[in-house]
A and B are shown apart, each in its own frame.
Chain A
Amino acid sequence: QKEVEQNSGPLSVPEGAIASLNCTYSDRVSQSFFWYRQYSGKSPELIMSIYSNGDKEDGRFTAQLNKASQYVSLLIRDSQPSDSATYLCAVNNFNKFYFGSGTKLNVKP
């Protein structure tokens, strides 16, 4: 079983819509969770971190964590074509980072 599972997509949404990206993780003791964005040919860049149950908002991005369900999600409001990228969910288990395979998001103008 993989540590982090994501739907590979692609997920296509029209410009201005809400994009919803999901992730599940296998280790119940995981403490910290992250979303990274990776453009083609570039390295991952951190978008959001979340450590406790509930929602965390930062601009157009909202991360949601449900530890009971071992589920993490990322909502992108007012999606822009520049948001088109692969989104990686990551879990930090005692300083070993595990990444999901990523969900490719296409925002259509």
Chain B
Amino acid sequence: EADIYQTPRYLVIGTGKKITLECSQTMGHDKMYWYQQDPGMELHLIHYSYGVNSTEKGDLSSESTVSRIRTEHFPLTLESARPSHTSQYLCASGGQVNTEAFFGQGTRLTVV
């Protein structure tokens, strides 16, 4: 069973606020990912990391930033939230090369 946790599950916040979405995993996985998904739409990779101090942008341009200071922790930050950031954000992690990824429960963000 995958142990990957995201907080908060739901967040409603005003325009212009700074927010950080938390993602932690207890499996010791090196690889972690952030995806953005609008309702009924496909998953888009926005950030990924192959290990501590390694972060890369994904295929979908995003105004968010990430950090990877510890193996188990991969937070995502929006410096100034806008209504266009309203979406579901999914964090995932993976272990060995080319193996599966496991997802957290997601954070549903609404910016008003």
1/0 per position for B74-112, CB-CB distance to A under 8 A?
Answer: 000000000000000010101001111111111000000
B107 to chain A, nearest CB (A): 10
Whether the pair B98, A44 counts as a contact (CB closer than 8 A) is no
Interface size classification for chain B: 20 to 34
Whether the pair A43, B42 counts as a contact (CB closer than 8 A) is no
Whether the pair B100, A95 counts as a contact (CB closer than 8 A) is no
Residue of B nearest to A44 (CB): B103
Q: How many residues of A contact B (CB 8 A)?
A: 23
Whether the pair A97, B103 counts as a contact (CB closer than 8 A) is no
A32 in complex: contacting residue of B41, B99, B105, CB < 8 Å: B99
Whether the pair B42, A49 counts as a contact (CB closer than 8 A) is no
Specify which chain B residues have a CB less than 8 angstroms from the CB of A42 in the assembled complex: 105-106
Whether the pair A99, B43 counts as a contact (CB closer than 8 A) is yes
> Which parts of A48-105 form the interface with B (CB within 8 Å)?
49, 51, 88, 90, 92, 94-102
